[in-house]
Structure 1
Amino acid sequence: MTVKRPLPRVLDPLPGESLPGLLLRVAFRLGLSPDRVAELCRLREMGGAIPHFYLRYLPGPQATALSCSAGLTAAEANNLTLRPFAHGFPALTGSKWDLIRTGGSATSNWGVTVSSRYCPDCLRGDGSPVQNAFGGAWQASWHLPVVFACLRHRRFLEHLCPTCERLVNGTVRAQPSLIKNSRLIGLHPAQCRNTLTLGRGSGKRVCGARLDEHPGSGARDLSAEDLQRLLSLQERIIARLTPTDPPRVGDPMSISFFPDLISTAHLIKLTWPMGETYIPSQELAMLVEEHAALVVAMVQARRAGDTGANLNSVRAVPDDAAQCGALLLAADTLLGDRELVALRPRIRALAGEAFRTSPNHADKILRQEENSDTLVRASYHRLYGDVGGRRQRTAPPDPRFQIEEIPAYLPRDWYESHIASIIPDLLSLGRRATRLLRRAVSIRLAQLATGGTWHASAEFLGIPASGALHTLRVLTRELGESQLRSVFEDAVGEIAVKHGRAVGRVDYARRRRSLAKWRLPTDDWHALRDGLPKLGRGRTSTDPRVGSIFLWSEVTQGEHLHSPTLREHREAGEDTTLLALAAGRCYSTDLHDSRLRLVQRLRIYAGLLAEACDQQTGLRVSVDEVAALEGVRPAGGSTEAGC
């Protein structure tokens, strides 16, 4: 894009100045409308509005055109947008850069506000000739919902024009423009551009009030101590918005500081007045009450059957800066140092109430991908209730993974990484501890995926009701209300978060359906055993059903005792003890020679069978391909982290 001539008598951007602020000052100096200045800078098409998303970032051609027209460097042009805050404030990068979302969900997720808060003292300028003539800077950061105070002047930002008492540069018919009434000429950059209706037949006029000539609400009559609390929070927030170093992966205070803060603020609103205990003074609590009371009223109306109750305000940003600051202070206090053990009881008290009163909104708030693992785990409900409480429900489902993606028997590598440390405290269970814990975690993950009962989740996984009830009873007895129970819950939470963020999850339910009637062909069983001496000649040692059981367990990651083969023969009244023992020996840790070779072949076969299930290409596996792969694939374990 080429620009024929630059603007005459341009102005240098002021520190922190926003794009609309610069356009207003240049337009006032040149005696043009902001609309015409934007057109000369190639920021709008003929007859169109100035796109509001230019506040967030300037596409390459527009950034180049603005630089050439206004005599700016590329860095100066980009610094007029919110782009410098993108690394520190994930809500900006989490929303698409388009017009519709700018006025909709971008606001609900606290990414940006269409209207601008402002500091009257800043708009008056610093006393220099340029700022005396054209005003101070409209700061880009004033469009960020988490910026509620001016640290320089130690006061809250304003959000309303003191004369017309309307939002400054608010949305018009849900179509936000970068500058309201941008075609008007002669307005000072600090004048209100809202349109006023004068009455029937009297037409309209622009408000025109000078925003820099009114003192505003200032400190909102708060005590010096409360004001200092809020200014200290604002100072920490500003430091997070403009980090000197890039975010460190794994550092929740760096990566998830703002997502956790905003989600917790939503939770406090939704459950008000439960969160009042985290507000240090009655005056600050009253500020939160002014905003949260409207949210609670809407939620209660919707629960009472009023389908017209608009729940958009549940996640909306408080326009009032003092209310916003008090709400963020409550959220920051609740989060504390964000240590899991201390945070859990605080978050769960509010999360339980939120899920009870407004489960859909609670789920959206607490299950956002941007939230830290700590916040997600802290909001999980406890597993155990009454052993006989078959109808008891847990928290609403976690949408990040489906129940179909849960294996019925926790894979061994998951177990070793997250659960095995519990074993020393469950020695009274002996060898049963591993089996019961792997079964229990899978059922628990299924509960988290659906919000269903323990027994319904076990049934979906193909675990018999008797086995599910026995597992629940034993673990309830062994874990009780001890610290060990919290350790177990934490481990399940870690697995849930890790599994929910994994790529390429397996549909284990499909595999179970595919193999429900499948049995290992006898010819394949003999071919797999071919050339392996000393495998034993007993009835169970040569029984192809052993191969069917093992392969089903490997492919579905299910407990071999619950395989269709064993279940079928048990239901027929047969004694399956020896058959189950023979299949179980395949998982022995001291296999060697021919038995080890056979298990290695079976695991290669299982990998090919799993691919066939996933691709739905038929369940026939070539034993010749198994033989070809035997020397290629590493020995010692299934690629599925077998059972």
Structure 2
Amino acid sequence: MRRPFEQLPRSLSPLPGEDLHGFVLRLAHRLDLTPIVLLRHTGLIDPHRHSAPARRMFMLEKDELAAFCTTTGMSPQDAQALTFKPHVDSYPPVATALLGLRGLSPAPRGVFPVWLLTTSTRYCPSCLAGDGSAIQQRHGGPWKVVWRLAATFACPEHRSFLHTTCPACGLPAQRIRGRSRSLMVEPHTDPLHPSRCRNVTDPEQGPCGARLDSAHLTDNDNPSDDLLNLQHRLLRARPYGTSSALDSLAGHNRMTDLFVLAALIRATWPLTADLAPSPSLARALDHDIGRPGPAPSLRISATAQKRWDSDVFSARGTAALLAISARILNLPLPELRLELRRVIAAMPPLDDAAWGQTWLNLRRDSSPLFRHEVLQLLDQRFPRPLPTHVALPGFLLIRRRSYSPKAIPQFLPEEWAEIITAPLGHTSGRSPGKTAIRRGLAAHLIQAVTGMSLDDAGTYLGIPPAWMAAWGRFRPLEERLHGCRADLSVLFQRLTDHVADQRAVDYAARRKRFANWTLPESDLQRIVENYPGRRRLLARGSQRGARMRVGFSALVWSQLTGSEWRLAPDLQPLPVEGVAMVDAGVIHQLQGRNPDHQPFYTYLHDLLPDYASTVLEGEDHQ
């Protein structure tokens, strides 16, 4: 059993923008402890562990967060500010690491995307030197979280390019050796000053120890005002456009546009070298692109191949790449099309492995206008469909309007589903495939607006887990999209717009209210007695009467709750092979699906909506 965590006798207040690894280094230096001892005492790792996993950098989970706050006296908000989590809405690689494709419930998933530095960091020597206060003179300034975002190339405060390597050992700063994914380098080393290089080039000599807060600055380290302005906008997820009312989703989409276009620029380099901010920066990018080995975010990846969708090594090369990308994105639409056409005309084949996640990111997360323009040009350049081996996302973002999850019925109305199925060539009518699509779309609508995982969305709607496993993530549509040019994201947006326009009905409350509702036998008897044709009395307890009551009850419950009749309380528990055929036959008669149905079934079929309305009115007045 884990011992209770005790508060440290002394702690530190986090510095603005500081990251978790830098805070641990500063606090360990103040307490004269090795970092590994402090990591164990603060609950960031178990006592038997010898290093902290890099996923602590993404966010602190419940238990680690509670222990860390207890021992350091820090608030949960301040503690999470030391991680990537505050950037989840503004920096797409962080969203990929914490959210993945299943929803918006942040969790460190052990995924390390490109454009995210987890095995080294850039740094500003002036920031590491501190602000001159007594505490920073003793323990140094902050190692900043944003330096780990590979799109950060400059320090706006000190108007300088960030450094990538130690001036003494020549290795990337805070470089993690081998294939591990750790929070910090050499945590067992005696407490060095936090600004000293901890890289080990010779195990017998120990860490490099060079002071990184006194690295020499030259005129070449001074970015232009335009680059500093670009850096400021990138940190606010505004790579192009001037809108000050940009929501977080639009910022996420535009940053994705920037990274997709950067991949196109790298794949066709040096085609756009003339658009670089300066010849020296163009040369820096040229050097980075020609550099052997993968990008920093892929440095220890098993797939150590060239990736056009990844970051580049140096801050100055990064500045050139992103400045070219932002310059193109900021062009007026006619000029943007011309520049995109020029780049796409020179690009390698779409199925080249070096594209990495480029096309998935374009389809899933790019802004609608940019995605439309690029896909149109790709259609002209490559007449055959885009590669279909890229899996469709299990989470489709809502790009404009929203709706309440309570307004989503468990079984989506057929006219709603046809907004997506009709353009994909599905014929009208009922089929197991269309039923599965209607279930799946309902779950995805819940997932998109709440951020739940698909499993949680299915549970919210009351869909049995076995059914969810059968339809998977848009599987019928994914199969239909093979060789099809339909854009599922655009169709899904049309569906969400349609849902937002509907009269609000609280289906969640109805599912709860009528969770155990069944048609009373006395009510069915009155319905039978009111039949205008030849009187038909059903003997109480008769098999025929029971079948009819169950079928009518299931369909009324379906109308009350917006759910499939198969889930009605009268039919539970679900048989292994589904609803018994005898019950299904009655249901089909009551639904009017049998052309030879008897007049009495027509009477019950026509009575269904009125009876459901009567039940609702009676419930509302109770």
Question: Which interval holds the TM-score relative to the shorter structure?
Answer: 0.5 to 0.7
In the alignment, is the contact (CA less than 8 A) between 2:165 and 2:171 conserved in 1?
Answer: yes
| 1:232 counterpart SS class | helix
In the alignment, is the contact (CA less than 8 A) between 2:196 and 2:209 conserved in 1?
Answer: yes
| 1:377 counterpart SS class | helix
| Cα 1:137–1:362 shift into 2, 3 Å | closer
CA distance in 2, matches of 1:375, 1:630: 50
Residues 551-595 of structure 1: CA deviation (Å, up to 9, x unaligned):
xxxxxxxxxxxxxxxxxxxxxxxxxxxxxxxxxxxxxxxxxxxxx
Residues 469-520 of structure 1: CA deviation (Å, up to 9, x unaligned):
xxxxxxxxxxxxxxxxxxxxxxx87x6542367899xxxxxxxxxxxxxxxx
- Flag structure 1 segments of 5+ consecutive residues without an equivalent: 299-307, 412-444, 452-456, 458-491, 505-607, 609-614, 635-643
Letter in 2 for 1:39: R
TM-score normalised by the chain length of structure 2: 0.59
Query: 106, 110, 117: which one pairs with 2:112?
Result: 106
CA distance in 1, matches of 2:380, 2:189: 66
Query: 320, 325, 328: which one pairs with 2:319?
Result: 325
The yes-or-no answer on 1:70 pairing with 2:72 is yes
Shift of 1:628: 5.6
Match of 1:161 in 2: 166
The yes-or-no answer on 1:347 pairing with 2:372 is no
Residues 16-55 of structure 1: CA deviation (Å, up to 9, x unaligned):
1111111111111111101101111111112311121111
CA distance in 1, matches of 2:480, 2:341: 15
In the alignment, is the contact (CA less than 8 A) between 1:103 and 1:176 conserved in 2?
Answer: no
| 2:206 counterpart SS class | strand
Alignment of 1:44-443 (within 5 A): 44-48=45-49, 49-96=51-98, 106-108=112-114, 110-197=115-202, 203-216=204-217, 218=218, 220=220, 227-240=224-237, 248=247, 252=250, 254-294=251-291, 310-336=304-330, 342-356=335-349, 359-362=352-355, 364-368=357-361, 369-381=364-376, 393=384, 395-397=386-388, 399=390, 407-408=424-425
CA distance in 2, matches of 1:627, 1:165: 85
In the alignment, is the contact (CA less than 8 A) between 1:50 and 1:178 conserved in 2?
Answer: yes
| Cα 1:626–1:264 shift into 2, 3 Å | farther
Letter in 2 for 1:17: E
CA distance in 2, matches of 1:354, 1:627: 65
Shift of 1:172: 2.2
Letter in 2 for 1:329: A
Residues 513-543 of structure 1: CA deviation (Å, up to 9, x unaligned):
xxxxxxxxxxxxxxxxxxxxxxxxxxxxxxx
Match of 2:491 in 1: 499
Shift of 1:365: 0.8
In the alignment, is the contact (CA less than 8 A) between 2:122 and 2:163 conserved in 1?
Answer: yes
In the alignment, is the contact (CA less than 8 A) between 1:41 and 1:70 conserved in 2?
Answer: yes
| 2:74 counterpart SS class | coil
Match of 2:594 in 1: 622
Residues 370-410 of structure 1: CA deviation (Å, up to 9, x unaligned):
12222221112469989xxxx96355459577999964499
| Cα 1:446–1:135 shift into 2, 3 Å | closer
The alignment covers a number of residue pairs equal to 425
In the alignment, is the contact (CA less than 8 A) between 1:394 and 1:447 conserved in 2?
Answer: no
| Cα 1:360–1:371 shift into 2, 3 Å | farther
CA distance in 2, matches of 1:244, 1:29: 44
In the alignment, is the contact (CA less than 8 A) between 1:340 and 1:374 conserved in 2?
Answer: no
In the alignment, is the contact (CA less than 8 A) between 2:97 and 2:110 conserved in 1?
Answer: no
Shift of 1:255: 3.7
CA distance in 2, matches of 1:63, 1:385: 52
The yes-or-no answer on 1:31 pairing with 2:32 is yes
In the alignment, is the contact (CA less than 8 A) between 1:135 and 1:190 conserved in 2?
Answer: yes
Match of 2:104 in 1: none
| 1:118 counterpart SS class | coil
In the alignment, is the contact (CA less than 8 A) between 2:166 and 2:197 conserved in 1?
Answer: yes
Letter in 2 for 1:343: L
In the alignment, is the contact (CA less than 8 A) between 2:29 and 2:191 conserved in 1?
Answer: yes
In the alignment, is the contact (CA less than 8 A) between 2:28 and 2:38 conserved in 1?
Answer: yes
Match of 2:550 in 1: none
In the alignment, is the contact (CA less than 8 A) between 1:120 and 1:211 conserved in 2?
Answer: yes
Shift of 1:447: 14
CA distance in 2, matches of 1:192, 1:167: 10
CA distance in 2, matches of 1:182, 1:381: 51
CA distance in 2, matches of 1:120, 1:362: 35
| Cα 1:259–1:448 shift into 2, 3 Å | farther
| 1:44 counterpart SS class | coil
Residues 315-349 of structure 1: CA deviation (Å, up to 9, x unaligned):
33223111111111111111116x65553333243
Q: Which moved further from structure 2: 396-405 or 130-139?
A: 396-405
Letter in 2 for 1:77: A
In the alignment, is the contact (CA less than 8 A) between 1:397 and 1:447 conserved in 2?
Answer: no
In the alignment, is the contact (CA less than 8 A) between 2:130 and 2:140 conserved in 1?
Answer: yes
| 1:262 counterpart SS class | helix
CA distance in 2, matches of 1:383, 1:259: 18
| Cα 1:278–1:357 shift into 2, 3 Å | farther
In the alignment, is the contact (CA less than 8 A) between 1:91 and 1:259 conserved in 2?
Answer: no
Residues 354-379 of structure 1: CA deviation (Å, up to 9, x unaligned):
35375454483134211222222111
Match of 2:21 in 1: 20
CA distance in 2, matches of 1:626, 1:382: 55
Letter in 1 for 2:384: R
Between structure 1 and structure 2, the one with the greater Rg is: 1
Question: In angstroms, what is the RMSD of aligned CA positions?
Answer: 4.4
Say which structure is richer in helix: 1
Shift of 1:314: 2.7
CA distance in 1, matches of 2:24, 2:303: 40
| Cα 1:406–1:353 shift into 2, 3 Å | farther
| Cα 1:268–1:405 shift into 2, 3 Å | farther
CA distance in 1, matches of 2:190, 2:392: 55
Match of 1:542 in 2: none
Residues 48-76 of structure 1: CA deviation (Å, up to 9, x unaligned):
11121111111122112111111212222
Match of 1:422 in 2: none
In the alignment, is the contact (CA less than 8 A) between 1:87 and 1:247 conserved in 2?
Answer: no
In the alignment, is the contact (CA less than 8 A) between 1:261 and 1:332 conserved in 2?
Answer: yes
| Cα 1:246–1:90 shift into 2, 3 Å | farther
| Cα 1:23–1:362 shift into 2, 3 Å | closer
Residues 402-426 of structure 1: CA deviation (Å, up to 9, x unaligned):
9999644999xxxxxxxxxxxxxxx
